[in-house]
Each structure stands twice: as C-alpha cells, then as structure tokens.
Structure 1
Amino acid sequence: MARVYLSLGSNLEPREHLVAAIEALRERFGEITVSPAYRSASVGFAGAEFVNLAVGLDTELTPQALNDWLHALEDRHGRRRDVPRYSDRTLDIDIVFYDALVIDGPGHLQIPRNELQHAFVLRPIADIAPDFRHPVSGSSMAELWAAFPQQLEPLQVESLAD
C-alpha cells in the first residue's frame, strides 16, 4: 500500500463537488484524512475564488491507475477538458505525493506537483501531514509552510457544512 496525498479544488459549486468527492474517496479507499478547506483567489486566470483541501489515503493502485480513477471522478462531476488548462472547474484533483516517488509523465502526471509552491496546496497538506518529507528537498511540510510567504497568498478557512 502506498500513502498518497491529494489536492482537491473547485470554484464552481465547490461545497457540492468537494463533499461528493470526499464521499467517493471514502467509498473507494476506506479511511481517509481530510484537511480543513480554504478559500483563495484563482491562480493563473481571472475567475471565481477556489475552495481547496487535501486528502491523505492509502492505495494499492499504481500512480497511473490512481490518476485515471481520479480523472474519471472529475469527469463524473462535469470537469471539462476542452477549455484552457487554467479555467473555472467543478472539480480538480491532483496527486501531490505518492509515497516518496518522483514522476514526470506520462502526460500531466507529475509527482510531486509543482502546485505545492502555492498556499492552497501546501497549507492543507501541512495540516494533515506536517512531518511528511518532500522526496526531493527533504523538508517537512511543516517546515515548508513555516517558510512560506503567507501574506502573498492569503487563505480563509471555509466550512463545507451547510
């Protein structure tokens, strides 16, 4: 079994899509760890604010098989792939870490994810896995978050409850 950390985000009906995605992940993978959710400005385009969170889970799936399963989950939630890469999204799920593997391809499969340089990915993972060490830098998630210039990318805690 591999320990995996995912980043989930949405800026189109985020409560609906993120809650449903968490339920689907629990149904498929069993016990999961879920971070607090955070609201932040969109990055890379002018769009509605995003709500992001992180999930930790254990899986027997290979990185590619897990990525395919996550893409199917995104697609079930209306994720469009015929629009620019940086655009509004119903659901966006990325594998940020898969144990200590470092992978670059095929396609957009990149582990660890470059988006870890953003608060909306780093902070939720630091919340649930502060001692997890980046497989390249060796820094813990807590150390990376402590060194992050938080004023540049402000986050606001967001409740997913109705």
Structure 2
Amino acid sequence: MAQIFISLGSNVNKVHYFRQALITLQRYFPNLRHSSVFESEAVGFAGNNFYNSVVAAETQMPLADLCKLLKQIELDNGRTHKDKKFSPRTLDLDLLFYDDLICDTPAQLPRDEITKNAFVLQPLAEVAGDFFHPVAQQTIAKLWKSYNNPKQKLWKVEFTNP
C-alpha cells in the first residue's frame, strides 16, 4: 500500500466542490483522513479566496492510474483542460506525495509547491506532520514550523465533512 497525500483547492462555488471532491475521494479511499479546511487569498492572480485542505490515504492504485483518477475527478467537477495555471477553478486536486517517490512523470513528486505555499504546507502538517520529505530531508512538521512568508495568510474555516 502506498501512502498518498492530495491537496484540494477551490475558489468557485467552493463549499459545493469541496464536498463533491470529498464524497468521491472517500469512495476510492474509504480510510482517508482530512485536514481542517483553510481559506486563503488567491496566489499569483486576482480572484476569489480559495478553500484548501489535504487528504491522506493509502492505495494500491499505480501512480499513473491515480493521476488519471484525480484529473477525471477535476473534469467531472467542472474543471477544463483550458484552465490557466493561475486562474479561478472549481476544483484542483494535486498529488503531493506517493510514498517517498521522487519523479517528474506522470506527476512531479514530491510536488514543488509543498515548501512554497502555506495553503499546502499547513494542512499537510495536520495530517502528515511526521512524514519525511525526501527532497527537503525534514519532516513536514519541521518544514511548517520554519515556514516564513507573511504575504501568505490563511485561516481555518468551519466545514462539515460529507
């Protein structure tokens, strides 16, 4: 079984799409753990605030199949292939880790934005504090503790899991 961590993000009808994503992910990963939901300002473009969180799960699914599944869930929830990198989105599912695998295809692992964005690192620290980042050579908890970017503000929001 591979240990996986997936970030969730949305800034378009975010409560609805977050719920839909969690319902779908729970069908594939019944024992998933979900971080708190955080709200943050858009990074890289002017837009509505985002909801962000991270789920932890285990899977026997091969990496390529998992990547295809996450893209299909995005498409099923209104995402299009035409969406720019820095733009509003109904749903963004990014695989952060697949065990301690380091690769660039079919996904960049570990995902580069883990150490750069509070909206990824803080919820990841909630569900994977003891997980060892194979590139940074530190635990996620230690990375979060040393994170310092005052421009990125986020705050917990009330969110009831489906």
What is the count of residue pairs matched by the alignment? 160
Residue by residue, what CA displacement relative to the aligned partner does 1:18-43 show, whole Å, maximum 9, x if unpaired?
11111111111111000001001111
Deviation, 1:49, is 0.8
Match of 1:126 in 2: 125
Match of 1:114 in 2: 112
- 1:22-76 deviations in Å (ceiling 9; x for gaps): 1111111111000001001111111111100000000111111101001000001
Give TM-score scaled by structure 1 length.
Answer: 0.94
**For 2:132, what is the secondary structure of its paired residue?**
coil
Q: What is the CA-CA distance between 1:82 and the residue it aligns to?
A: 1.0
**Aligned AA (1:20):** Q
Provide the residue aligned with 2:37 in structure 1. 37
TM-score (norm: length of structure 2): 0.94
Aligned to 1:148: 147
Question: Structure 1: 5+ residue runs without aligned partners?
Answer: none
* Contact 1:14 1:50 (C-alpha < 8 Å) held by counterparts: yes
> How far 1:150 moved relative to its partner?
4.9
How many angstroms apart in 1 are the aligned matches of 2:148 and 2:95?
24
What corresponds to 2:68 in structure 1? 68
Deviations 1:100-136 (A, max 9, x none): 0011124xx1111111110000000001111001011
Equivalent residue number for residue 102 of structure 2? 102
Percent identity of paired positions between Structure 1 and Structure 2? 36
* Maintained 8 Å contact 1:131/1:142: yes
Q: Which aligned segments of 4 or more residues in structure 1 are displaced greater than 4 angstroms?
A: none
> Which residue in 1 is equivalent to 2:135?
136
CA RMSD of aligned residues (A): 1.3
What is the rounded CA distance, in whole Å, between the counterparts of 1:144 and 1:53 in structure 2?
17
